[in-house]
Structure 1
Amino acid sequence: MKKQLFADFSLLLIAFVWGSTFVLVQNAIAFLDPFSFNGIRFFLAAILLGGWLFLFERKQLRHLNKKIVMSGLFLGFLLFIGYAFQTAGLLYTTSSKAGFITGLSVVMVPIFAIYLLNERPGRNAVIGIIGATAGLYLLTMAGTSGLTTGDGLVFVCAIGFAMHILMTGKYAGQFPALLLTMIQVSTVALLSAISAFLFEDWQSVAKHDILLSRDVAAALLITAVFATALAFLAQTSFQKFTTPTRVALIFAMEPVFAAVTAYVWAGERLSFSAVLGCMLIFAGMVFAELPRKPAASLLKQKHELVHEATSNHVKQK
């Protein structure tokens, strides 16, 4: 029980860090291109994780084999899809909208579970998906807040993160956490560097006035250490001690933290319809992950109540 509570609290801290870094990243990519930013961010995180691995957890290297490498590469690819499209989307949309659309990945998890885990969503999941979809429409289409290219990019990112949640749950209990995390983080760094070389002015990375500027340096340091190295290590380590329902529910807090920090730090404002949309998305995410008692369990409880009532009636006679 203590392990589960500690795991839940750690995952809640991860959600806070992820949500609160939206504004920092958005400010940084105004000076440094998205792929270049992610390449440096994940490269620094890989160095931190690799250094800790070789200095203090070298025994985990005995588990290095093709299976863990392929699993780490796959998780890294999913992370790359998520962060690449999220960071690019932040160029064309607001931090609040990006946070809530990214949070929609929690609702996508039951859908993908049908095909990947052969688990069909229950009534709560279906209602949650409908509510979140309606909220997404209000958030991105109502009033002056129309659907933008950035919203579409962040939606693709949500798909990547949903897949990452499922696959992390699958692999977390099979491999050493630190080694698996280092492989996936290194994969994101490599893919981001290649993308920066192909699609961006990668030479801007060498400009000291950009890298050492306050916005870029602060964003790189905070996201590399807290939102990447520590966050994904904690997720990989602790997800095995809690249930998928709890993980999804806790991560549903990320868009809430994103909206709050955008309001406090960036002074962003949302229209009434957008606020209503945010509420529907959040309610949908939470409702989709609420546990539902199986019909057999409810029928058993009903029979027990009937039996208890009958017994009491006989005793009274």
Structure 2
Amino acid sequence: MRDNFRILKADIFLLVAAFIWGAAFVAQRVGMDYLPPFYFNGIRFLLGGITLLPLVLINSKKSNQLNFFQKRDVKGVLVGGFCLGSILFVASSLQQIGMIYTTAGKAGFITGLYVVIVPIVGYFLKQDIHFGVVIGVILSVIGLYLLSINEDFTIDKGDFFVFLCSVMFSFHVIAIGYFAPKYDCIFLSCIQFFVNACLSLIVAFFWESISWQAIYGGLWPILYGGFMSAGIAFTLQVVAQKDAPPAHASIIMSLESVFAALTGWWILGEVLSLRARWGCIFMFIGAVLAQIWPYVFKRNK
């Protein structure tokens, strides 16, 4: 009974995290009305890193060990954090630029393609690939065509940037899989947020208009993107995945794209055409199949 309660609580945490991340697409879209993309990312990831700092200290005290503060581990964490932060910088920059030209709902579904791209990249890195991924890729390609490809077989500029962002997020997931088992994951995330913030602010300083007035105007989207999306949602995910079964986590986290579409419609009044809605359905089913197939197949076997 107690185990069931822990699983239910973990599932609720994951659902809240998925909703926060889905709604973050709206915050990013609104933020573009006040700040240019690199400036917006720089501020929000700076806030995200600051949010995680207390968790890094709490974790170190709770475990009564400061191994990652030793010379060797600090070097490893800094290298890992820099690599993750650099990849995240490219991915988030492409996403934020794409958000200027596309809707929050479409961006949510296209970004979610990383779920099926990760196994494909893993295949070229000599990792096994299951049949569910093949089906997921086919459905996702059909969905992307319905959602983003025009009648003249061209893709909208914003959707193309977000698609590239999804590819970069797949490399980010693979990089996390390499570094996370070696070091404290919250400490790694904290560093990657600060690296992303620094790179974004450097680009913004040279190529964008920077003003405190812009921060004031876009304060709520920035706070949501920084504290809620980066700090709170990430913490909920880390806590929840200690108890949530992988199949539960896969399905619930896939709802991020659905929440992006729903909040885009509710808050921004975005409306998807019937063709686009069918595209979203195909992409969502493809993403879910790619994640849960190994668990269903294993159970049936």
* TM-score bin (small chain): 0.7 to 0.9
Partner Cα separation in structure 1 for residue 207 and residue 231 of structure 2 = 26
Contact 2:250 2:292 in 1 (8 A): no
Residue of 159, 171, 188 corresponding to 1:180: 188
The answer to whether the aligner puts 1:25 opposite 2:25 as a matched pair is no
Greater relative CO (CA pairs within 8 A, separation 6+) = 2
The answer to whether the aligner puts 1:11 opposite 2:14 as a matched pair is yes
Partner Cα separation in structure 2 for residue 145 and residue 219 of structure 1 = 34
* C-alpha deviation, 1:92, in angstroms: 0.8
Structure 2: give runs of 5+ residues left out of the alignment: none
Q: After TM superposition, list the pairs within 5 Å mapping 1:153-302 onto structure 2.
A: 153-201=161-209, 203-204=210-211, 206=212, 208=213, 210-213=214-217, 216-236=218-238, 238-239=240-241, 246-292=248-294
Deviates most, 49-58 or 64-73: 49-58
Change (3 A) 1:234 1:81: farther
Name the TM-score, length of structure 2 as normaliser. 0.85
Q: After TM superposition, list the pairs within 5 Å mapping 1:5-84 onto structure 2.
A: 6-54=9-57, 57=60, 61-64=66-69, 65-84=74-93
Identity of aligned residues (%): 36
Partner Cα separation in structure 1 for residue 296 and residue 93 of structure 2 = 39
1:101 aligns to what?
110
Contact 1:41 1:223 in 2 (8 A): yes
Contact 1:172 1:237 in 2 (8 A): no
Partner Cα separation in structure 1 for residue 173 and residue 252 of structure 2 = 12
1:85 aligns to what?
94
| Count of equivalent residues | 292
Change (3 A) 1:297 1:241: closer
Say which SS state the counterpart of residue 155 (structure 2) adopts.
Answer: coil
Deviates most, 138-147 or 107-116: 138-147
Partner Cα separation in structure 1 for residue 14 and residue 42 of structure 2 = 24
Partner Cα separation in structure 1 for residue 296 and residue 239 of structure 2 = 30
Deviates most, 154-163 or 257-266: 154-163
Name the TM-score, length of structure 1 as normaliser. 0.81
Contact 1:102 1:158 in 2 (8 A): yes
Change (3 A) 1:5 1:297: closer
Say which SS state the counterpart of residue 291 (structure 1) adopts.
Answer: helix
Query: Cα deviations across residues 50-102 of structure 1 (Å, max 9, x unaligned)?
Result: 24545774566541322222222222222222211111100111111111101
* C-alpha deviation, 1:224, in angstroms: 0.9
Change (3 A) 1:60 1:171: farther
Residue of 149, 158, 162 corresponding to 1:150: 158
AA at the equivalent of 1:189: A
Contact 1:60 1:176 in 2 (8 A): no
